Amino acid sequence: MKVAVLSTYAYAKEHENYGSALQYFALQEFLRKNGYEACWIRYDPSVKKIISTDNIKKLFSPKTVIRFVNNRIVKFGHKKYPRNFQDFFISNLRLSERIYGDVNDLKQNYPDADVYIVGSDQVWTVANEINFLDFGPPGVKKISYAASGAWQRLSHDWYVLAAKYLSGFSAISVREEQGLEHCKLAGICDAVSVLDPTFLLPASDYLNLTRNLSSDDDEVLLCYFLNIRRRSSLPWSELVNFSSSGGLKLKVIPLQGAESCIPKENLFIPNIPQWIKSFSSANCIVTNSFHGTVFSIIMKRPFLVVLQDGYTATENSRFISILSKLGLENRIYNSESSKSLRECMHEPIDWDNVSMKLDYLRKTSADWLLESLCQ
């Protein structure tokens, strides 16, 4: 059976986002292991820019100007520090032959598949017909798997489109518990919460991607930060003190603008296999990224989460959702607390208990997806 997956292809490609690429890889591999042939729909609106009155109005809106400035910062960082995502895409991902530029293109030349899946990373942040799978042959099965979004700032259009199109889905799931309430507001009361696709695979499947890499003998405090524009958003002095006093090398993987505020001597710009390897071999990890948190858990490394602030603070619900499910809420670090970063990092993690909870959630998520595909 063929499955076409609509996810954040354009975002992963343009922003070179590790989590966006790996969440599709994980879903693809899970489906393959269970007898399905999956492909990632290459939807990229940049290949077909449409000039309209509405688009011209949006062009000069404050949100668009902010987004433009942020994108220029991100693109500058990626041009200066390339991550060679294309190599991983070619070697490890099954992609649609066609690149689709808009909904009409998808409707007229829809992917050949028995099932369409939308999910996971931030697919419902933007409200449009494409993200609600308004294309395909009559009667094609439609499923959302772990669909995520900026739940705290959804537009009115999102609820209108959700109410219109989700009734045609055979099964609906979201990644965060918070998403269930928004589905209910759109009249969808039977949605469930499941794990991010990256949790569907064991650590060994990711480590297979690193088998040709040499080992690094350094003792490392690994940091993975995104959406940072100023170092004061981070507990930087504590990170420096913790690494130096513990004899650890401080390595920072920056993303989406963070390149501009991290000292060059601390920068580490890996490709995707190197990124995975760095998480598996680090002594400990500090991150403000959801998938940085996920891979710290998958690799069973001591970790702390620094919450994001400003416009991207809405993304923090993702951390809270998964950490609460696994009993790891104490891994959120607050620099204003009475405990130091060192004390928080050294608080033991009961990995046996975490693994037991994760195994249960992984099984229920996998069972839900396989049953949804079969029904």
- How far apart CA 42 and CA 127 sit, in angstroms, is 18
Tokens of 181: 């309430």
At 209-237, the pLDDT tens digits run 999 998 877 899 999 999 898 999 899 99
CATH architecture type of domain 212-357: 3-Layer(aba) Sandwich (3.40)
- How far apart CA 14 and CA 88 sit, in angstroms, is 14
pLDDT at 315: 76
Tokens of 92: 């490890």
Domain ranges of the chain: 2-202+360-374, 212-357
**335-360 burial string, b = 16+ CB within 10 Å, else e?**
eeeeeebeebbeeebeeeeeeeebee
Check if 2-202+360-374 and 212-357 are the same fold: yes
Nearest residue to 260 via CA among 308, 292, 228, 238: 228
pLDDT at 80: 76
Give every residue of the chain whose pLDDT is below 50, as ranges: 51-53, 55-56, 59, 64-69, 72-73, 76
CATH architecture type of domain 2-202+360-374: 3-Layer(aba) Sandwich (3.40)
pLDDT at 290: 95
